[in-house]
Structure 1
């Protein structure tokens, strides 16, 4: 059974999602529920990791409750806490009463490209690592240098790169993304999600041939035991449905051994996030 290491749930009637503004995101500006996830994922997905969508501890608390009520489908939550608060250790200990497996901040939206390098963030990451929790890195090109410097100086933290560092596939970006992936892979505490690639391509004009070089580069740099599958549902619906993403992933992994496929499709996520 597949572990989907990256998906979301949200409801615009409950809270505002700043990143969802604009006409282009209108197709996904509706509620997506646990019931919708069960239908979308189908019977191949046995467990998932639910990932934060806004900087809100309240959302994290809601996600932890959702996981507890999911009958095992949502095996873990990557939530949000303010890493800069002096008592972040207390907050983390409180939230760990639920199935919290990691923390993420939407660094790609920070006006300061060096936000990750702030002293208070480094301190918060240390508190995270001391509790065995992972940190999901959500960056684009402007923040990649800071992300690399961060993982090099925080070697007691497990880092997970979301969406392969968001290469701009639609515009043909290769370098400096490709070299950055190699540099990140040299840091032993870093793994990478094979996720979110169809929405980095042209939404209505993508195929496996155009995405394969990026996936193969990630697999070559990290090795299958440090790569994990994520659907990025329902964001993926801007470019394709959940089953389109599964079909693409099957095609991208066609040249892998059975052991490698098992790692990408579940083993890596279970190990890195310490899923039950």
Structure 2
């Protein structure tokens, strides 16, 4: 994981943003993290702006916040590219009544990736493994996803019945679209809307890239990470609308899922504020459509 936009500190949505926001029952939070700095460092948490999250975050801390928000299941997502983290996350999920799925990490370029994925499934909590992710956003090659060794690894992820989470920057979205076309049997889940430039107010070329990716029907998008791509001090839910509307129009509610991105979201908002913002930007939808975004899509795509 790499730092999000570092434009400020913390904020709340305005009262006019959250007025009349509908409630949602049985929510699935499709994207959150945990880490223990005494086990290993999170080397992406650097600089004064990220000091508020440079501490341990555990499921014990998350659970009361999630439960009070009406969340009944979550997906725990990898944070750094080391092989030891995924077994730890699977064990944590296996002993949790909240975590229903784990998106882990393994080296996509390793020749024995199929065996590695099978071995992960045999570990304690291995039945909770639902996907794989790599910090593509940190790769210098904008076409990293199209390398032959990476393509072979992605095919192994598909063969294992897992999905692949995409954490990419806007300039890497074109390669993601090509990868999705080349691997129609693999479901690609785009994290954080592909990190649009919300703080600067720009839409293009990000929006064009989103529409190209969404044209591949094996792609899904997480309504997550918006508050930390916005200005941390002054974001409002209405300011997030153009970006939420873009992915709603491109993917539709049946291919969108809510994620808190806790605890990274705490740089800009509380857990409840992130959920409230997501409710506001989806307030024009029908109850069944919101049901997809806040639970149905995640359960179906991740097989929770």
What TM-score do the two structures reach when normalised by structure 2? 0.89
2:105 maps to: 80
Is residue 89 of structure 1 aligned with residue 118 of structure 2? no
Q: Which moved more, 1:264-273 or 1:32-41?
A: 32-41
Q: Within 1, Cα distance between the matches of 2:213 and 2:140?
A: 23
| Equivalent residues in 2 for 1:10-49, closer than 5 Å | 10-43=35-68, 44-49=70-75
Corresponding residue number in structure 1 for 2:154: 125
Q: Number of paired residues?
A: 274
Distance 1:237 1:109 in 2: 22
- Counterparts of 1:113 and 1:26, CA distance in 2: 30
Give yes or no for the alignment of 1:268 onto 2:268: no
1:161 maps to: 190
Whole-angstrom CA distance in 1 between matches of 2:250 and 2:171: 21
Name which of structure 1's ranges 79-88 and 113-122 shifts more when overlaid on structure 2. Answer: 113-122
Q: Compute the displacement of 1:214 (Å).
A: 0.6
Aligned partners of 1:40, 1:84: CA distance in 2, in Å?
37
Q: CA deviation at 1:23?
A: 1.6
Contact 2:238–2:281 (Cα < 8 Å) also in 1: no
Question: Is the CA contact (8 Å cut-off) linking 2:93 and 2:102 kept in structure 1?
Answer: yes
RMSD: 0.9
Cα distance in 2, alignment partners of residues 22 and 155 from structure 1: 40
1:114 and 1:247 mapped to 2: Cα distance? Answer: 36
1:178-218, CA deviations, whole angstroms, 9 ceiling, x for partnerless residues? 11111111101000000000000001110011101110111
Q: How far did 1:20 drift?
A: 1.2
Residue in 1 aligned with 2:83?
57
TM-score under structure 1 length normalisation: 0.97
Structural mapping, 1:173-192, within 5 Å = 173-192=202-221
1:13 CA displacement:
2.1
Distance 1:89 1:69 in 2: 26
How many Å separate the matches in 2 of 1:163 and 1:20? 18
- CA displacement 1:78-102 (0-9 Å, x = unmatched): 0000000000000001112311000
Structure 1 regions of 5+ residues with no counterpart? none
Q: 2:274 maps to which residue?
A: 245
Show structure 1 runs of 4+ deviating over 3 A: none
> Gaps spanning 5+ residues in structure 2: where?
1-25
Ranked by relative contact order (alpha carbons within 8 Å, sequence separation 6 or more), the top structure is 2
Aligned equivalent of 2:5: none
Conserved in 1, the CA contact under 8 Å of 2:75 and 2:101? yes
